[in-house]
Each structure stands twice: as structure tokens, then as C-alpha cells.
């Protein structure tokens, strides 16, 4: 029987590992053979790496899934709605708006946990704490899974250097900051936990010939899918591990993947029933579809050559981020890369390098299985967010590398252990490689150290929206979305200041920067209504009234139903009227602005009051009375409105009517006489 099995193993063409030298294996430090200690160390490393995020607040998409999601905020009471709606529904409270992003989103599990944590209390601290616990748990799970795989692949080895180093590299990689430092990113962590748990259970199923374990794998896989759809790519990854890394692989082992297929089918059915049929109509909004360009004032889709060049530019960017995670950004929206062409070097590199890696991955599956599995895992998990098969709403995102970076870690770890001391590999290799081995170990230590340093220093950027947007806009100045976010953050910052603080030169500079950011957005995206509204607000705060009015009017031209822009346009006309009347004594210009305000809302109390004051100052007493009378109709229970009308009557010599209004005002506010004497 053993002879027959040996022949079967040989027929697979897998390379037999060199013999173990147990003397070298025993030369390893004692702690290195204690797997539980290593697992605890990996958990602690993952936790400490992100410990400086515990003091952070909410940022970026946390509003969508937590702070402004009316369903999540209900806690467990809202779970029924969470599992029966698009993930964004609780934020937009509108099914159509919730599906603005191509394909919709169905990821209820992480939001259910956020709701539970909201019920417990603790604010953002508790959410960040659980993110760290989940990430540390993922590190432990990944290490034990890879160790299990390595043990089967190389059964004589007593140490598991590849499993440990791969986990260490994966945990330390700075590209994960968007996932771990941002509360919303927990969907990625939970999805990968479900994926790795499913992979481990299928692996054990094949070892123990156990359908019970396979069914548990299906449950874990289903929970991963409920966290994020990226889990579905492990339908390809798990069989890949079995085929390439089990020395006793038989095709019949793939039957234990059947519960995964069933779980995926069930998930897709639920998802389709919740989200409904997909909409094939192209999305013609640049912020939700980066493959658009403006031609003759209309947004049109990219040509095939423009689309393909942009996709391969993005694929090259992903490789750059894995190899050199130096200048990170949460945003790569249009036009972060402009509109690439096939004459651009990054596009060519994207095609050549990715095609080359894919070929290498396929060829190395038998010769160097860890390399083959790592490369193919990278492509399998990136495929669903690559824009190759369907659009995902953005060009590139660092969080999209969370799954694929595991493949990168496996490849680097494989080559890393080849250059490390022999004890790290469990006694494999030559005894004579002391110098080379220690240089290799030092190189890995430097890589992990640099990754960790970058991660720890990147984390503070995620403390709040203002810090995040104003930092990353320096890295991606051509992103319309990021420029818009920076404009909004700086405008909101200025609004929260006291009047005295607003006059400080540094804060005036911030306001001017907000206006400049808005201008950059409009340059990139000339039909983006939110950009006009934000720049209009900033111009209004800077008392650039005509510029503010022009921006807000343009926002309303783009969307006549844009309520926020309409309200701010009314405010702009009113404040301009007040400014030119009170500070410039230009009554004619003041009247022009106030008349425009009343055209927008004939019952706006403050515009009516200011018009009454204006006409009173101009000596038009009867018109002043009329505006003050209309103001009292707008706010009949406002003592000040009644008093102002009384003053207008008094100045016009109508003392009886004046006294009537004064009496009514005193009934509403008995202290109004004293308040008016004191200038109130």
C-alpha cells in the first residue's frame, strides 16, 4: 500500500524537500518551537501595531455604517432591517441612492456587530478595540492554518519558519492601515477570518475524511460572505491550496469544497432577493464611475483602449503599493491618474508584469508550490475588485489589497526562509550558510521593521476626517473626491470657530485653501454639484458674496432639487444684503440682494426684517411697515417682530397702532422693555 502511495506522490511531479538535519533544527531558540508562544506573540504584535488608533474618533465611511446609519444605531433591534436591505440603506434611507455604487452592497454582519457595540456604549474606542482584537485573532488563525499546511507539505520539519514569517509580513504591511485603523474596515478583517477558517476546516476535512468539518467550513464561509463579497474568491483559493500543497492530494478531496459552493449559492440568492436585479444602465456620474470623460458638455464612457489602459495602470499601482508602501492614500478617485493611454509606461508595465506573474504562478505550482499559490491567490482575490470583470466604482483602493497581500506575504516568506539560518526552516538546507543566513534574517527583520514603522506613523492620519483628508490630498492632488473632501473639511473647521478665531491669519488661510480645493474639484469635474455648493459656502464665509451666489446658483442649475444649495443661496443673498447695508451703507445694492432673497422665499423672516430696517433707514416708512408686518405674519409669536412693527408705526406717527404692537410684544416677553433699553 505504501509503495502504491509513493508512486502516486511521484506522479504529481512535486519537488521533494531536502532531508531534515535535526541537529540544526534543535539549534533554534527554545521559544521558536513553542507554537502557542509564537501565536500569542503574533496577536500581541498585531494589537500593539495599531494600539495608537484606540484614541481615534470616527472617520471616512464610519458615518455610512455607524454614526449616520439609522439602522445600525438601533442596535440588535435593527438587525432584521440590516439583513433585509442594502448596506448603505440605513445611511441614505433611499433604495435608489443606496445603490449608487455599481452592483449594490450586501454586508450586514459587520454592521450588526457595530450595532451591538453601539448598544454597549464606549463610543469609537470600543469599535477600535474590537478591530484590534479581530486583527490579532486573524494573525493567530492565519499562523496556525499556514503551519498546518506547511506540516502536511513538509511532514518531517519541526519548525515552521514560512508560516511565521508570512504571518508577520502580512500583519505588518502598511497597506492594511485603511482596514484596521478605520472602523468600517472590519468587514475586510471578518471576511478574511471567515475565508481562512473555511480553508483550514476544508484542509482538516480532507485529512480526517470528515463531512462534519466540511459543513463547519461552509458555515464559516457563509459568515465571511455576509461580511464582504471578496470571500467568494476563496472558492478558487482553497482548492488551490489542496492541489498544490498537499503531498497526498487526490482529486476526490475537492468534494469537501461542496459546502462552500452551497454557502456561496445561498448567499447569492439572498443577496439577489435583497438587492433585486442589477441595473445595466451605465452610471454617468464620475464619482461613481471612473471610466467616464466629458465630451461637448456630456459625460460619455471611455473607449475600450482608454478603459483597458486605465485598468492596467491600476493593476501596476497595486504592485507598487505592495512593494513600496511609502506614499499611502485612502483615495484614488478620478483623476488621480489622469486618463492613461497605452503609450504610458505604467500601463505597459501593468500588462507585462501582471501577465508575467500569472504565467510564473502557473508554472511554479509544482516546482515551488508556495510561490505558485501565493501569486495565484493574489490574482484570484484581486480579480473581484480589479475593474477587469465589472466596475467597482473606483480606480484603486488600498483596502482592496487586504486579501491579495496575503499572496504577496507567502511569496516573500518563501524566498525569505531560503536565505535565513537553517534552524528557521526546521533543519533544511546547508550548515555552511551561516553568514548568508544571518544576512537574510537581518533583511527580513529590516523589512518587517520598516513596515511596522510606516504602519505606526500612518495610523494617526486616520484619527479624524480633517486630518485624513488634508493629509492625503497632498498625496493625491488630482483626485476630485479627495479635493472635495478637503474643501469640505476645511470649510466645516472654519464654521466651528468663534468669530474672534476666524479673524486669525492662519484660519483665514485655511478658508482660502478650502476655496482653492473647491476650484480644483470643479476643474476636474465641472458638473459636480457638491463641489459648487462647498466652494459657495466657503466663499460666503469669506464674504465673497457674488462668487458664493454664482457657485450656489450653478449647483442649483445642475440639480434644481438640491435643497442644501437652495438654502445656502437664500442665506448668501440675505447676508450680502445685510453686509452692504450695515457695513458699506450701500442701500441700493443691499436692496437688490434682499429682493433676490425674498424672490427665493417671500416668507423668510430675516430677509423681511432686514428689508424693513433698510426701508426705515431710507425714509420709506410705509414700506418699512409693510415688511415688518409681513415679518410678524411669518413669525406671529415672535416678540421682537411685533416690537419692530411697533417702532415702525411709531416712527410713522401711528402711536395707537404702535402701542398695540408693544403690548402684544410684552405679553410674549415681559422683559422686552429692559432688553431693548440694553440694546437687545
Cα-Cα-Cα-Cα dihedral sign, residues 410, 415, 419, 425: positive
Cβ neighbours of 383 (radius 10 Å) = 14
The residue among 85 and 490 whose pLDDT is bigger is 490
pLDDT tens per residue, range 287-308: 989 999 999 989 999 999 999 9
Looking at residue 11, its pLDDT comes to 44
d(CA 126, CA 56): 11
What's the grid cell of residue 624? 418699512
Average pLDDT, rounded, for the chain: 90
Q: Are 639 and 668 in contact (CB under 8 A)?
A: yes
Instruction: For residue 218, give every residue at least 6 positions away whose Cβ sits within 8 Å of its Cβ, in sequence order, or none.
Output: 198, 259, 260, 262, 263
As a whole number of angstroms, the distance between CA 236 and CA 266 comes to 17
Least confident of 19-28, 275-284, 313-322: 19-28
The whole-angstrom separation of Cα 461 and Cα 489 is 14
The residue length of the chain stands at: 680
Grid coordinates representing 287 are 464619482
For 373-400, give the DSSP string: HHHHHHHHHHHTTSSSSS--SSS--GGG
- Looking at CATH, the fold of the domain delimited by 612-680 is given as 1.25.40
Is the per-residue pLDDT at 21 higher than 50?
Answer: no
Query: Fold for domain 479-601?
Result: 1.25.40
Segment (H or E) for 298: strand 298-301
Does residue 352 have a pLDDT over 80?
yes
N-to-C CA span, the chain: 101
Average pLDDT over residues 168-186: 97
pLDDT at site 1? 41
What is the residue extent of each domain of the chain?
59-121, 303-418, 479-601, 612-680
Q: Does pLDDT of 433 surpass 70?
A: no
Cα separation, 642 vs 667, whole angstroms: 11
Residues 358, 379: contact at Cβ < 8 Å?
Answer: yes
Residue with cell 476563496: 234
* Residue scoring higher pLDDT (132 or 426): 132
**Helix, strand or coil, per DSSP, at residue 157:** coil
Task: Identify the pLDDT of residue 2.
Answer: 42
Return the minimum-mean-pLDDT range out of 193-202, 269-278, 566-575: 269-278
Is the per-residue pLDDT at 339 higher than 80?
A: yes
DSSP H or E segment with residue 422: none
Residue 20 is predicted with a pLDDT of: 46
- Average pLDDT for 30-48: 86
Write down the H helix ranges in 177-332. Answer: 177-180, 186-208, 211-227, 234-245, 258-275, 304-323
The C-alpha cell that represents 571 in the structure block: 442665506
Task: Supply the pLDDT for residue 23.
Answer: 46
In terms of C-beta density within 10 A (0-12 exposed, 13-18 middle, 19 or more buried), how is residue 400 classed?
A: buried
| pLDDT at site 300 | 94
Helix (H, G, I), strand (E, B) or coil at 114: helix
Alpha-carbon gap, residue 47 to 544, rounded angstroms: 49
In terms of C-beta density within 10 A (0-12 exposed, 13-18 middle, 19 or more buried), how is residue 67 classed?
middle
Q: Which of 106, 103, 86 is nearest to 95 (CA)?
A: 86
- As a whole number, mean pLDDT of residues 432-455 equals 79
Lowest mean pLDDT segment, chosen from 8-22, 70-84, 185-199, 336-350 = 8-22
Examine domains 479-601 and 612-680 and report if their fold is the same: yes
pLDDT at 3: 42
* Whether residue 415 has pLDDT greater than 70: yes
| Residue 243 pLDDT | 94
pLDDT at 4: 41
User: What is the C-alpha to C-alpha distance for residues 512 and 96, in angstroms, rounded to an integer?
Assistant: 36
Beta bridge partners of 295: 298
Q: How far apart are CA 539 and CA 527, in angstroms?
A: 19
Q: Sorting pLDDT into bands at 50, 70 and 90, what band is 9?
A: very low
Contact 228, 106 (CB under 8 A): no
| For range 411-437, the mean pLDDT | 63
pLDDT band for 378, please (50, 70, 90 cuts): very high
The total of other beta-carbon atoms located within 10 Å of residue 599's CB is 11
pLDDT score for 151: 82
Amino acid at each position: 500500500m505504501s509503495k502504491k502511495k509513493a508512486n502516486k506522490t511521484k506522479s504529481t511531479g512535486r519537488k521533494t524537500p531536502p532531508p531534515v538535519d535535526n541537529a540544526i533544527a534543535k539549534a533554534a531558540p527554545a521559544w521558536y518551537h513553542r507554537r502557542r508562544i509564537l501565536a500569542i506573540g503574533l496577536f500581541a504584535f498585531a494589537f500593539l501595531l495599531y494600539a495608537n488608533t484606540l484614541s481615534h474618533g470616527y472617520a471616512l465611511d464610519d458615518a455610512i455604517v455607524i454614526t449616520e446609519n439609522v439602522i445600525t444605531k438601533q442596535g440588535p433591534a435593527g438587525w432584521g432591517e440590516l439583513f433585509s436591505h442594502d448596506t448603505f440603506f440605513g445611511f441614505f434611507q433611499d433604495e435608489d441612492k443606496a445603490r449608487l455604487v455599481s452592483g449594490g452592497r450586501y454586508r450586514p454582519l459587520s454592521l450588526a456587530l457595530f450595532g451591538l457595540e453601539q448598544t454597549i456604549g464606549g463610543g469609537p474606542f470600543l469599535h477600535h478595540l474590537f478591530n484590534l482584537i479581530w486583527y490579532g485573532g486573524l494573525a493567530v488563525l492565519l499562523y496556525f492554518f499556514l503551519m498546518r499546511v506547511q506540516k502536511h507539505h513538509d511532514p518531517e520539519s519541526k519548525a515552521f519558519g514560512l508560516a511565521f514569517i508570512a504571518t508577520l509580513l502580512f500583519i505588518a504591511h502598511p497597506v492594511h492601515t485603511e482596514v484596521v485603523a478605520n472602523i468600517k474596515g472590519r468587514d475586510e478583517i471578518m471576511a478574511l477570518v471567515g475565508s481562512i477558517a473555511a480553508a483550514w476546516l476544508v484542509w482538516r476535512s480532507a485529512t480526517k475524511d470528515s463531512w462534519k468539518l466540511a459543513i463547519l467550513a461552509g458555515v464559516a464561509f457563509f459568515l465571511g460572505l455576509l461580511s464582504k463579497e471578496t470571500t467568494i474568491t476563496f472558492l478558487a483559493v482553497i482548492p488551490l491550496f489542496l492541489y498544490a500543497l498537499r503531498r497526498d492530494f487526490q482529486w476526490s478531496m475537492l468534494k469537501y469544497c461542496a459546502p462552500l459552493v452551497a454557502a456561496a449559492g445561498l448567499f447569492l440568492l439572498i443577496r439577489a432577493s435583497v438587492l433585486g436585479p442589477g441595473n445595466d444602465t451605465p452610471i454617468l456620474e464620475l464619482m461613481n464611475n471612473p471610466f467616464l470623460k466629458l465630451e461637448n458638455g456630456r459625460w460619455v464612457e471611455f473607449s475600450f483602449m482608454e478603459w483597458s489602459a486605465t485598468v492596467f495602470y491600476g493593476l501596476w499601482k497595486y504592485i507598487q503599493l505592495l512593494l513600496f508602501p511609502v506614499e499611502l492614500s485612502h483615495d484614488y478617485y478620478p483623476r488621480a491618474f489622469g486618463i492613461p493611454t497605452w503609450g504610458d509606461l505604467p500601463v505597459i508595465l501593468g500588462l507585462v508584469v501582471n501577465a508575467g506573474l500569472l504565467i510564473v504562478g502557473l508554472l511554479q505550482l509544482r516546482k515551488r508550490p508556495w510561490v505558485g499559490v501565493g501569486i495565484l491567490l493574489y490574482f484570484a482575490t484581486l480579480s473581484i475588485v480589479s475593474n477587469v470583470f465589472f466596475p467597482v466604482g473606483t480606480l484603486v483602493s488600498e483596502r482592496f489589497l487586504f486579501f491579495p497581500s496575503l499572496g504577496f506575504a507567502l511569496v516573500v516568506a518563501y524566498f525569505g526562509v531560503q536565505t535565513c539560518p537553517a534552524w528557521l526552516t526546521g533543519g533544511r538546507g546547508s550548515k555552511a550558510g551561516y553568514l548568508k543566513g544571518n544576512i537574510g534574517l537581518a533583511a527580513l527583520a529590516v523589512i518587517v521593521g520598516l513596515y511596522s514603522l510606516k504602519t505606526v506613523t500612518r495610523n494617526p492620519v486616520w484619527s479624524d476626517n480633517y486630518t485624513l483628508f488634508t493629509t492625503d490630498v497632498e498625496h493625491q492632488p488630482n483626485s476630485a473626491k479627495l479635493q472635495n473632501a478637503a474643501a469640505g473639511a476645511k470649510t466645516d473647521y472654519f464654521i466651528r470657530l468663534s468669530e474672534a478665531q476666524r479673524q486669525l491669519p492662519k484660519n483665514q488661510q485655511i478658508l482660502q485653501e478650502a476655496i482653492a480645493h473647491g476650484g480644483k474639484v470643479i476643474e476636474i469635474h465641472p458638473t459636480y454639484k457638491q463641489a459648487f455648493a462647498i466652494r459657495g459656502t466657503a466663499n460666503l464665509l469669506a464674504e465673497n458674496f457674488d462668487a458664493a451666489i454664482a457657485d450656489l446658483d450653478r449647483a442649483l442649475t445642475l440639480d434644481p432639487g438640491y435643497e442644501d444649495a437652495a438654502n445656502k443661496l437664500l442665506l448668501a443673498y440675505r447676508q450680502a444684503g445685510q453686509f452692504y447695508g450695515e457695513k458699506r451703507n450701500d442701500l441700493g445694492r443691499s436692496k437688490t440682494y434682499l429682493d433676490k432673497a425674498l424672490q427665493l422665499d417671500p416668507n423668510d423672516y430675516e430677509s423681511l426684517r432686514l428689508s424693513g430696517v433698510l426701508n426705515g433707514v431710507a425714509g420709506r416708512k410705509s414700506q418699512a411697515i409693510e415688511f415688518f408686518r409681513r415679518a410678524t405674519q411669518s413669525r406671529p409669536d415672535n416678540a421682537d417682530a411685533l416690537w419692530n412693527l411697533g417702532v415702525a408705526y411709531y416712527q410713522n406717527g401711528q402711536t395707537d397702532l404702535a402701542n398695540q404692537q408693544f403690548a402684544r410684544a410684552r405679553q410674549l416677553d415681559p422683559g422686552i422693555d429692559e432688553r431693548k433699553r440694553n440694546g437687545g
